[in-house]
Amino acid sequence: MGLYDETVEVPRRTMVLFFVVDTSGSMNGSKIGTVNSAIEDIIPEIADISDSNADAQIKIAALQFSTGAKWLDSQPVSAENFVWNYLDASGVTDLGEACLQLNEKLSRTAFMNDATGSFAPAIFLMSDGEPTDNYRYGLDKLKQNNWFRKAIKVAIAIGEDANKNVLAEFAGNSEAVIDVTSPKELRKWIQFVTVRASEIGSKSSNAGSNSDSGSNEIETKQDIMIQEIQSQKDDIEWKEENPFEDDDSLQW
Amino acid sequence: MREFSKGQKIKVKSGGELEVIEKLGEGGQGIVYRVSYNGKEYALKWYFVNKLKDHKRFYMNIENNIRKGAPTSAFLWPVEITEYFEGSFGYLMRLRPKEYEDFSKFLRAKVHFSGINAVINAALQITTGFRVLHNKGFSYQDLNDGNFFVNADTGDVLICDNDNVAEYGKAFGIAGKCRYMAPEVVTGKKKPDIHTDRFSLAVVLYMLIFVNHPLEGERTLKSPCLTEELERKFYGIEPVFVFDKNNPQNRPVENLHRNEIKLWSLYPDFVKEAFQEAFSRESMIGNNIEHRVTEKKWQEIFIKLRDCLAECPSCNNETFLNLSQPESKCICCGKVITNPFVLKVKKNEIALMPSKKIYACHVIYDSEDYNQAMGEVVLSRSVPAVAGLKNNSGRAWTAVASNGVSKSYESGQVIKLMKGLKIRFGNDNDGEIL
Ligand SMILES: Nc1ncnc2c1ncn2[C@@H]1O[C@H](COP(=O)(O)OP(=O)(O)OP(=O)(O)O)[C@@H](O)[C@H]1O
Ligand SMILES: [Mg+2]
Ligand SMILES: [Zn+2]
């Protein structure tokens, strides 16, 4: 027996990835269908990222909101064990209620309770409409929450009717809001954000060492996420315009 | 940027074309493919060009590194660079053999070292790699758990991601992990250089040997949410070593930091003292940050450690012998071991247990080569209780008994071990059996 046979893993922190999904009636059809399959398909990749990451493990929590809001699991589930249950869409858009529920769980006595500590979470909101409840109260409360304030926050505005101002307020920045108009785009963005937010959120950061020396502003994980979204936006536009895009798949 | 499919051809700068075989993986800066070029297989790292701050400079730096050549064979060094293609480029390096595992897998306890000897070998190889790299005027800049692959059986190491490596004084804005960065890099006071590499090296060596992080203990655990500001504090502004001699604030936590609690109690003091120096306040954020423990010093420590490694006669496990005492206690079964003969040569003391090897760094007066075995302790076939040192050095050694009688031993011959015996290895490099 060797001295190193019984080493145990170096304690990792936990990074919780939150999906906050609008399941109001307007999402019914291809929107919720795309959300379901895009998330389902990307989960194994998140499990891989978590598995090979010695800095932190990734856990997932999902909150759906329509008439009221509901957690899909009673605790965050490790990415390896997480299964995405297909969501159905009906009812109104109680975003305020979702904010309150999120606020309640973003606490050391609720979801953020790992003994080895956590990195700030990544929170990913998807919505296609206008809040129907008094979202102001809930959102203001949530914005006081320290976990929320430190989180990586990204929102996807699905279609023309999404209230982008509210989403920008949630994400803290209009650049962290992504507009999508087609199912293809929606899928691409969900997967991109899920992967990159997981990777950035779950790794030891550069702690701002790249920030200009002298300034006390630290480049945050959220800043990095936003830069990546911007450069991906440029890239996707380039892709969409590329008439030779499907060359790869053609056989000659 | 699109992903390449099988059969994609890309021009290589020095001539010819590579052909993509399959995707191997993806990282923050690009995608790695298996490719063929000139009838051989390589790994191709293809960049996301928009992730590089100054891709022209980056390209030139890789070209320069290719020209200068790999410091040692432990580096998966760039060997060829491609021409620009669809706005980006990549470089070719050796493929990693499959018996090498990501270091992060050791940290995740998915892979375990075969034993102490393998750990020491890995430590020596990483240290030597950095020593040669630094002597050539390069600094690595971005050492972390994703940068090397290790063979769990032998401890052999391959160092990858050599694209950030730059010559002294040059630095790329790197987005490393602060868990592995020197404090002055974390706080943005300095760009990576040789001194900051030395800090990162100490972190990696500690994690290799004690399988926990040197700066993560009671104090860092108290914070439920490790924000970027707190990371800056714990790894940059006020780092505290878990076994700091003067500051007990950040001790390992029982049941959580189990590996280092156990392993720290078993390793010899000279190893622990070196880490206490490397992670002292002075060496981390005080006046010694440009006088950190050097690669040469680490090399001496790990050679010394290997010299006192022995197999316990009772339980057959590896243990360290305390050669300053007549006997030692097995770190595994706790039984008392009578110390064997010791060869004292240069600054080294080698425990001459059966099958113990001595190396060029011991017997050749000006050598630091710890890899090339030059002799081995063997037992007599006729009288198994008698041990001898077999000369495998390729040159004659002279043994001088305490009464002054001497005899020459050619390569292949065995010198019977006796207390007080002197062995002349040549060029005034004399050893003595204690
Ligand atoms: N020479 C190689 N042979 C075989 N596989 C390799 C080689 N180099 C890298 N890989 C694999 O390719 C993948 C991507 O490697 P790469 O170094 O680009 O990314 P990374 O280390 O994950 O991230 P980063 O770009 O941030 O350093 C990894 O899974 C790695 O194991
Ligand atoms: Mg890498
Ligand atoms: Zn024993």
pLDDT tens digit sequence for A123-171: 999 999 999 999 999 999 999 999 999 999 999 999 989 999 999 999 9
Q: Whose alpha carbon is nearest atom 16 of ligand 1?
A: B27
Cα separation of B78 and B43, whole Å?
Answer: 10
The values of phi and psi at residue B198, to 5°, are -65, -35
Closest CA to B61 of B163, B133, B207, B161: B163
What pLDDT is attached to residue B26? 84
* pLDDT over 80 (residue B309): yes
Cα separation of B400 and B423, whole Å?
Answer: 6
Q: What is the mean pLDDT of residues B196-205?
A: 96
The CA-atom distances, in angstroms, between A25 and each of A86, A89, A100, A160 are: 15, 5, 21, 16
Q: What is the mean pLDDT of residues B336-358?
A: 95
Closest partner residue to A117 (CB to CB) among B173, B174, B221 is B221
Distance of CA B223 to the CA centre of its chain: 32
Separation of B24 CA from ligand 2 center, angstroms?
A: 13
Write the pLDDT tens digit of every residue in A23-56: 999 999 999 999 999 999 999 999 999 999 999 9
Q: What is the pTM of this model?
A: 0.93
What's the pLDDT band for B50 if we cut at 50, 70, 90?
Answer: confident
DSSP readout, A101-127? HHHHHSSTTTT---TT-EEPPEEEEEE
Cα separation of B274 and B259, whole Å?
Answer: 19
Q: What is the mean pLDDT of residues A7-25?
A: 97
Residues near B297 by beta carbon (within 8 Å), at least 6 away in sequence: B274
What pLDDT is attached to residue B166? 79
Tell the CATH superfamily of the A13-207+219-242 domain. von Willebrand factor, type A domain (3.40.50.410)
- The domain limits of chain A are 13-207+219-242
What's the pLDDT band for B172 if we cut at 50, 70, 90?
Answer: low
The count of residues in chain A is: 252
CB B239 within 8 A of CB B215: yes
Identify the bridge partners of residue B376 per DSSP, sorted by sequence position: B357, B390
What pLDDT is attached to residue B2? 80
Write the pLDDT tens digit of every residue in B104-150: 999 999 999 999 999 999 999 999 999 999 999 888 888 889 889 99
Cα separation of B8 and B1, whole Å?
Answer: 14
Q: Structural domains in chain B?
A: 9-93 (3.30.200.20), 100-300 (1.10.510.10), 340-433 (2.60.200.20)
- In the A/B pair of chains, how many CB contacts fall below 8 A? 149
For ligand 1, is residue B27 a contact (CB within 6 Å)? Answer: yes
Lowest mean pLDDT segment, chosen from A32-41, B49-58, B145-154, B297-306? B49-58
Lowest mean pLDDT segment, chosen from A126-140, A218-232, A233-247, B387-401? A233-247
Q: Which residue of A has its CA nearest to B254?
A: A11
Q: What is the mean pLDDT of residues A202-231?
A: 79
* pLDDT over 70 (residue A251): no
Q: Which residues surround ligand 2, an ion (CB under 5 A)?
A: B 27, 146, 161
- What sign does the CA torsion over B142, B143, B146, B151 have? positive
What pLDDT is attached to residue B169? 64
Q: What is the mean pLDDT of residues A207-228?
A: 76
Lowest mean pLDDT segment, chosen from A29-38, B167-176, B414-423? B167-176
Which of the 8 DSSP states describes residue B337? E
% chain A with pLDDT above 90: 81
Q: What is the mean pLDDT of residues A233-241?
A: 63
Secondary structure class of B312 (helix, strand, coil): coil
What's the pLDDT band for B168 if we cut at 50, 70, 90?
Answer: low
What pLDDT is attached to residue A250? 54
% chain B with pLDDT above 70: 98
Q: Whose alpha carbon is nearest atom 1 of ligand 1?
A: B95
N-to-C CA span, chain B = 67
